[in-house]
Amino acid sequence: MRELTYAQALREAITEEMERNPEILLLGEDIGVYGGVFKVTEGLLARFGPERVIETPISEAGFISAAVGMAMTGKHPLAELMFMDFALVAADSIFNQAAKMRYMSGGRVKVPLLIRTQQGGGRGNAAQHSQSLETLFTHLPGFKVALPATPYDAKGLLKTALRDDNPVIMIEHKLLYNTKGPVPVEEYTLPFGKAAIKRPGDDVTLVSLSRTVLFAQEAAELAAQEGIDVEVIDLRTTVPLDLDTILASVRKTNRLVIAHESHRRLGIGAEIAALVQEHAFDYLDAPIARVGAMDIPIPYSKVLEDEALPGTPHILAAIRSVVA
C-alpha cells in the first residue's frame, strides 16, 4: 500500500469530497495562494477557484459566523482555524449558534459545518498557540469531535465529517502533518464512534488519542520488554465516544491507563475514568492512572515545554504503577 503524509491524506480527502459535492467550499486565513500554514490546502485554489476556496480576513469571529450561515442555507462549508486557540475568538458562533441550532429548531435547520484546526505543543509556539482544547468541544453538546492520529484515520474521518449534516470539528496535531503511513487508493470512510485497537494486550488497557497515541505505542513496546502486555486503544473520536471498546478491554486486562496531551485536570481522561468506574468497577485490580499535561500554560522554553507535556516516559511510568 502506498504511503502518504498526514497532510497529503487530508488534502486528498478534501479534494475528493469537493469533487463529489459542489456545495463544499473552504474558508480560512492563508488557505489559498499560500496553501495553509501547514500546507494542507496547497493547490486547491488553482483547482477549484476563488469561489470555493475563499481567503478570509484575519477575523475568526467573522468567517466562522459566515460559515455557520452558509451551512444553515444549503452549503457545506469547511472552515479552517489556523490554530485551535483561535476557536475562543469565535466561541459564540461555534458553541451558541452552530452547536445548538439544529436542536433549537427541532431539526428543521441543518448545520453541515466542518471546522478543521490543529492544536498541541512541541514546537515552542508558547501558551497562546499550543493548547489542546478537545475537552471543551466534548463537554458542550452539539459537535462531533474527531482527533485522527494517523494519515489513514485523517483521510477516512475527514471524508465522513464532510458527509455529515451536523457540525463536526476535526482536531489535528501540528506535529503530525509530516508523519507518514499507509493510505489505500480505494475509496473508504471511517465511522465516528469506533475506536481502533492499535496493539492487543492482556495486562493493561492504555487509552489515548491524537499524537499521544504514538507515545502510547512506544511506551507499550518498552513495557513489553519488561513482560507487561499492554493493549493500546486509539479513541479516534471523543464525540461519539466508543465506550464499549474501552470497557471490553478493561474487563480483559483489569487495569487502565489514560494518556492525552490536554491538561490532566478535567481532561477527557477524567471522564473516561469516571465512566469505567461506573460500568466496570468490579473488574479493576488497580486504581486508574491518568497522564496529561501539567495544569499550567504551555511554556515557550523547549526544556520547560518538554517537562510540561506528557511523553513516552510519563506513560511508561503510569503503566508500571498499575501493575506494581
Catalytic site positions? 60, 129
User: CA nearest 155: which of 285, 291, 16?
Assistant: 16
Q: What's the confidence (pLDDT) of residue 230? A: 98
> Is 19 part of a structural domain of the chain?
yes
The verdict on 44 and 169 lying in the same domain is: yes
Considering the domain architecture, whether residues 262 and 177 belong to the same structural domain is answered as no
Q: Three-class SS of residue 55?
A: strand
Question: Within a domain: residue 188?
Answer: no
CATH number of the domain within which 32 lies: 3.40.50.970
206: left (phi over 0), alpha (psi -120 to 50) or beta: beta
Q: How confident is the model at residue 262 (pLDDT cuts 50, 70, 90)?
A: very high
Residues 312, 1: Cα–Cα separation, whole Å? 28
Is a pLDDT exceeding 90 seen at residue 311?
Answer: yes
Per-residue pLDDT reduced to its tens digit, 285-304: 999 999 999 999 999 999 99
Same domain, 63 and 167: yes
Q: How confident is the model at residue 144 (pLDDT cuts 50, 70, 90)?
A: very high
Q: For residue 282, what pLDDT is reported?
A: 97
pLDDT in tens, 171-193: 999 999 999 999 999 999 999 99
Do 146 and 209 lie in a common domain? no
62-92 residue pLDDT tens: 999 999 999 999 999 999 999 999 999 999 9
Would 108 be classed as within a structural domain?
yes
282/170 same-domain check: no
174 in a domain, yes or no? yes
Clarify whether residues 173 and 243 are in a common domain.
no
Q: Which of 125, 160, 182 is the last residue of a domain?
A: 182
Same domain, 177 and 200: no
Instruction: Read off the CATH number of the domain in which 269 is found.
Output: 3.40.50.920
Q: Give how many domains the chain has, as a whole number.
A: 2
Task: Cis check for the bond before 57: say yes or no (omega within 30 of 0).
Answer: no
Q: Where are the alpha helices (DSSP H) in the chain?
A: 6-20, 44-48, 60-72, 91, 101-104, 134-139, 151-161, 212-224, 243-253, 268-280, 302-308, 312-323
Residue 221, pLDDT > 90, answer yes
Residue 184 burial (C-beta neighbours within 10 Å; 0-12, 13-18, 19+)? exposed
Q: Is the pTM of this model over 0.85?
A: yes
State whether 7 and 94 are in the same domain.
yes
- The range of the structural domain enclosing residue 79 comes to 3-182
Per-residue pLDDT band for 1 (boundaries 50, 70, 90) equals: confident
Q: Which of 147, 182, 217 is the last residue of a domain?
A: 182
Segment 147-151 shows an average pLDDT of 98
Domain's final residue, options 182, 207, 242? 182
Same domain, 223 and 150: no
